[in-house]
Structure 1
Amino acid sequence: MHTSALVLFSGGQDSTTCLAYALERYERVETIAFDYRQRHNVELTARLNVLREIKARFPQWATKLGEDHLLDLAVLGEVSETSLTRDTAFKMEANGLPNTFVPGRNLLFMTLAAALAYRRGLQVIVTGVCETDFSGYPDCRDDTMKALQLALSLGMDQRFLIETPLMWIDKAQTWELAHALGERSGEPGGGNALVDLVVEHTHTCYLGDRTHRQAWGYGCGTCPACELRAKGYAGFTDKVKRAAA
């Protein structure tokens, strides 16, 4: 039986939902993030705010939260020529992928997460990759995660379980999942509390904009990440309104 997990936690909407997912299921949960000199490195501050708010608003989860880890991955930024690591406009490349794709990023993240999980005695690795609402990134696909689970387990001679709770749901359903997880936390009004936490404290905007407050949270409102988040929030709130009618 699995009792411990390591969550790849950037401080964004998806990874915060994944953190709540892990806290509901496992007795001990640790978090990991990577500083790869990303253009939106404000997320590294936002994630600490999210951890603080989760501990304050969800005491039962707070007792499960263990150590937080931040790894310096500057080398990834050095070898990447993308709009997430350089001050360039967002666009589609000739290969059909957006220039927000950082080649090898998730492969490297998962390898380092597994190495840390090995050292820390953590059995499950939870990541927010998704094949429903995504930009075609090949390292977010279910096949990639299954291959990594096998390779990492063989390469470290330890059976890891990679969980991807968002893999087959869209952004509206991710908002719904956050609400459901909050409701099941045992805290009064936990569903709305977790949604409010995601809105107010998580960061998704590729431009690192924390000055413009939208209905769904902070962000420029025009980058691909903001557009996806806004669309999902609209779908979520529309469903809530129809259910209340």
Structure 2
Amino acid sequence: MPNPMRHTHALVLFSGGQDSTTCLAHALSRFERVETVGFDYGQRHRVELDARQAVLRELRAAFPAWAARLGEDHVLDLAVLGAVSETSLTRDMAFRMEANGLPNTFVPGRNLLFLTLAAALAYRRGLTVLVAGVCETDFSGYPDCRDDTMKAMQLALSLGMDQRFLVDTPLMWIDKADTWRLARELGGEALVALIVEHTHTCYQGDREHRHAWGWGCGQCPACQLRERGWQAYREGTPRGTALPRHP
């Protein structure tokens, strides 16, 4: 009988961005079987859904050992989330800070819904680990990225589905520069180059402008954070030195 306390099969919440790709590499280096799930919620940067497929294709080609562990990819339609969200990620509006201190890139309930549906999918697929690229270091103050939120979700999902889930957050306490370093530790310069070339982070969905750190407008909060992390990584900023949060 398999040991229920030993987690060997994982589902990665995979957007096709830098963070989730690094998390995918982390999962592939750690778990016996790994599947991926993405979400189409009417995001302005919908090009990330295309980037997902490019990253998966390139990972399989460049890392045969990981390819043997990489299973099915799933995309869930969450149009309802875009319909109820009045944010700059789901509407054509400028990025700004709101009166509550959160940026208008915050999509209320997004990560909570993502994890709930991912857990439902994982339940059906026989996967007990949910891997998410959330963190408390380089983020926008999103409350659904906090460690306390992840622990609460792990408990709620495990109780509500009578299934012992583990919510794995490998980026929780590291900054963007360390995320680049983690990618290099996991897959060498080949993985770093893959992330630069094929992942998508830009909130504007820009795939026309190429920078040293990848594709993007270079102006939106996501691009600025990724660029600062890349510069600190290349300059050798000491590990654990948090970069400024984007405005």
TM-score, scaled relative to structure 1: 0.94
Q: Name the CA distance, whole Å, in 1 between partners of 2:179 and 2:227.
A: 12
Q: Which residue of the partner structure matches residue 35 of structure 1?
A: 40
SS state at 2:105 partner: coil
Q: Which residue of the partner structure matches residue 245 of structure 2?
A: none
Q: Deviations over 1:32-82 (max 9, x none)?
A: 000001000000000100000000000000000000000000000000000
Q: Which residue of the partner structure matches residue 188 of structure 1?
A: none
SS state at 1:25 partner: coil
* 1:210 matches 2:207: yes
* 1:222 matches 2:219: yes
SS state at 1:32 partner: strand
* Distance apart, 1:131 and its partner CA: 0.4
For structure 2, list consecutive stretches of 5 or more residues without a partner in the other structure.
1-5, 238-247
Q: Name the CA distance, whole Å, in 1 between partners of 2:32 and 2:175.
A: 28
Counterpart amino acid of residue 218 in structure 2: G
Tell me the C-alpha RMSD between the 2 structures. Answer: 0.7
* Distance apart, 1:209 and its partner CA: 0.2
Correspondence 1:1-16 to 2 at 5 A: 1-16=6-21
Correspondence 1:175-214 to 2 at 5 A: 175-182=180-187, 191-214=188-211
Q: Which residue of the partner structure matches residue 116 of structure 1?
A: 121
Correspondence 1:118-197 to 2 at 5 A: 118-182=123-187, 191-197=188-194
Counterpart amino acid of residue 211 in structure 2: Q
* Distance apart, 1:122 and its partner CA: 0.2
Q: Which residue of the partner structure matches residue 61 of structure 1?
A: 66
* Distance apart, 1:3 and its partner CA: 1.1
Number of aligned pairs?
Answer: 232
Q: Which residue of the partner structure matches residue 186 of structure 1?
A: none
SS state at 1:66 partner: strand
Q: Name the CA distance, whole Å, in 1 between partners of 2:181 and 2:37.
A: 24
Q: Deviations over 1:105-158 (max 9, x none)?
A: 000000000000000000100000010000000000000000000000000000
Q: Name the CA distance, whole Å, in 2 between partners of 1:126 and 1:156.
A: 18
Q: Name the CA distance, whole Å, in 2 between partners of 1:140 and 1:168.
A: 11
For structure 1, list consecutive stretches of 5 or more residues without a partner in the other structure.
183-190, 241-245
Q: 2:29 aligns with which of 9, 24, 28?
A: 24
Q: Which runs of 4+ in 1 moved over 6 A?
A: none
